[in-house]
Structure 1
Amino acid sequence: MQLPAFAAQPDVEVLILGAGWTSTFLIPLCVERRVSYAATSRPSHPKPETVPFHFDEHAAHPDRGAFAALPSARTVLVTFPIVAPGAATRLVRLYEETHPGAAPRFVQLGSSGIWELQPGQDSVWLDRHSPYKTHDARAAAEQELLALSPGTPTTVLNLSGLYGGPRAMKHVVGRVAPTKEALRRSGSIHMIHGIDVARVILAVHSNFALAAGQRWLLTNNRVYDWWDIAATWGTEFATLKGQAPSPHARGERGLQPQWARELMREERVRALPRSPEQLGRALDSRDFWDTFGLEPLILQLD
């Protein structure tokens, strides 16, 4: 998807550091809602209508000129992961120093993978207040960013599996479940569509006081079952006898639907999807949606 043009201006409401997959949903929503924005891309891989920018998180003294070239923004969205100790603070302070008077707020995108069931845990449910992998370098950098609040308002959005656009579940079943035993071991999966990610970001931008200093867990409030997904999609338009996949071969979905049926019989599962207790891990993201008075829009996997 080609990014739409934006009018160059000294100040914007939202600055997107890293015009990747998320921006293909966020930028159109900014345009629709008339939220001024700017986005960056690497100088080595420039994208149309973006500002060249690269942050070397391992450099003790990053290039101040690269920061000074960025527009002033009310909200700065960091889409790329940061793992080096001290790098999150350096990014924030360099932006503030090169944009005096801007008073920016910072949003870091992260992953819901930092939450895992703990040994002996009674419930399969996890929420944003559950213990997470503090030894994870990315989670530690996010916590460093959060520690800058309230002096510099910051928040972290830990996103579950991302889908939408070229990211479709029907394209990955063969990789997740290449064998019956691999499918047997596949349990729950949690997702959020790019459109809802964009809505979440702009909700935080508009109501930052509700988010400041906090880590949020984001899903579309659904727990999906890999067996159900495999039974639905199989290996989409499976290749037959070495021939190219045919768009008319919808009845030929590979062996995954058969494996799912066999596993249901073997594991005594009467119907799909399995319950969260059977799946073994379930994420509860209601806090964000309740706090901001929103509902996810896209619930159907494709």
Structure 2
Amino acid sequence: MQITDDHDNDPVDLLILGAGWTATFLIPLLNREGIKYAATTTDGRDGTIRFRFDPDSSVLEPFRALPRAETVLITFPLLGKGQARHLVEMYESTHHMAERRVPHFVLLGATSIWTAPKWQDESSPYDHADPRAIAEDELMARSDGAVLNLAGLYGGTRQPRDWLSRVVKSKADLKGKGALHVVHGEDVARAIVALHRNFTPRKRWLLSDMHVYDWWDLTQDWAARALRNMEGGDAQVESTTTETKRQQELLAWVGELMTEQGVRALPRDSSLLGRALDSRAFWQHVGIWPIHGRIR
């Protein structure tokens, strides 16, 4: 969407502050749904508004370039005390609105604020000292905003199986891996639109695809599949001796750990995986459910 410099003449339904990875799923959905939007990037590419949030600056000009919006979506992390309040106050000071037209602020957060090794939902105790949690609390208190705390993001070229080489470099690494929680970018976009249409002031939500994945189970599946593809001559799969040995090693580690830990079958029971996330409440509240099921 092409944005003019005069926000008074071009109000939008939804303003995306930070059109990054999430926006690649959100913008097509907004277009399909006929929701008028504007988006910012730090360099103003692709017809977006050039905007960079500086929590230490009180210069108003970057905010004056932003349109009025019913919903302001903040996709970048806000940290600690002061940042959320500053952003809200800078936007409101450059967009004088009647009380009934005050924008709804929605911040994308992370599920890492819930740390207890047991079942967690949006109402569970969280780490109040976490810098992101501090900023989320401040946003809700200052603007009556809402927070969507997202599980691991995937979709498109971002695939969980590609994370394995980074997070599991040894058998000890794999031994320490419990649960994995994810949510697809398309479901994040659907959640944002649902919250735009059915806003919940001062509410923190937990968002996942409603699965609790077992890293051992995923590792076994991905390694076995990679070996089959290599044996089948799949041109998209690297079939070097080193890679073959790596996949065979992963399979062996899973089997050895199952024997050593007395695990009879995969996936392990959720009680053995540590923190487990329950995101049913959000989906039930907005009346939709994830369309992306189990990751492969």
Normalising by the residue count of structure 1, what TM-score does the alignment of the two structures yield? 0.86
Q: Which residues in structure 2 correspond to 1:41-60 (within 5 Å)?
A: 41-43=41-43, 46-59=44-57
Q: Report the counterpart of residue 32 of structure 2 in structure 1.
A: 32
Q: Report the counterpart of residue 237 of structure 2 in structure 1.
A: 247
Report the Cα offset of residue 40 of structure 1: 0.3
Say whether the 8 Å CA contact 2:217–2:267 is kept in structure 1. Answer: yes
Q: Report the counterpart of residue 185 of structure 1 in structure 2.
A: 176
Q: Which residues in structure 2 correspond to 1:1-302 (within 5 Å)?
A: 5-6=1-2, 10-43=10-43, 46-59=44-57, 61=58, 63-101=59-97, 102-117=101-116, 124-148=118-142, 152-208=143-199, 211-234=200-223, 247=237, 249=239, 252=244, 253-302=247-296
> Please, which moves more after superposition, 93-102 or 229-238?
229-238
Q: Secondary structure at the match of 1:301?
A: coil
Amino acid across the alignment from 1:81:
P
Q: Tell me: CA distance 1:229–1:254, structure 2 relative to 1, closer, same or farther (3 Å).
A: same
Percent of aligned positions that are identical? 44
Q: Secondary structure at the match of 2:45?
A: coil
Say whether the 8 Å CA contact 1:41–1:53 is kept in structure 2. Answer: yes
Report the Cα offset of residue 246 of structure 1: 5.8
Q: Within 2, Cα distance between the matches of 1:248 and 1:47?
A: 35
Say whether the 8 Å CA contact 2:72–2:105 is kept in structure 1. Answer: yes
Stretches of structure 1 lacking an aligned partner (at least 5 in a row) = 119-123
Instruction: Give the number of aligned pairs.
Output: 279
Stretches of structure 2 lacking an aligned partner (at least 5 in a row) = none
Amino acid across the alignment from 1:216:
W
CA RMSD between the two structures: 2.2
Q: Within 1, Cα distance between the matches of 2:72 and 2:224?
A: 40
Q: Tell me: CA distance 1:108–1:235, structure 2 relative to 1, closer, same or farther (3 Å).
A: farther
The structure richer in helix per residue is 2
Report the Cα offset of residue 54 of structure 1: 0.9
Report the Cα offset of residue 254 of structure 1: 4.4
Report the Cα offset of residue 176 of structure 1: 1.3
Q: Tell me: CA distance 1:193–1:278, structure 2 relative to 1, closer, same or farther (3 Å).
A: same
Q: Report the counterpart of residue 121 of structure 1 in structure 2.
A: none
Q: Secondary structure at the match of 1:48?
A: helix
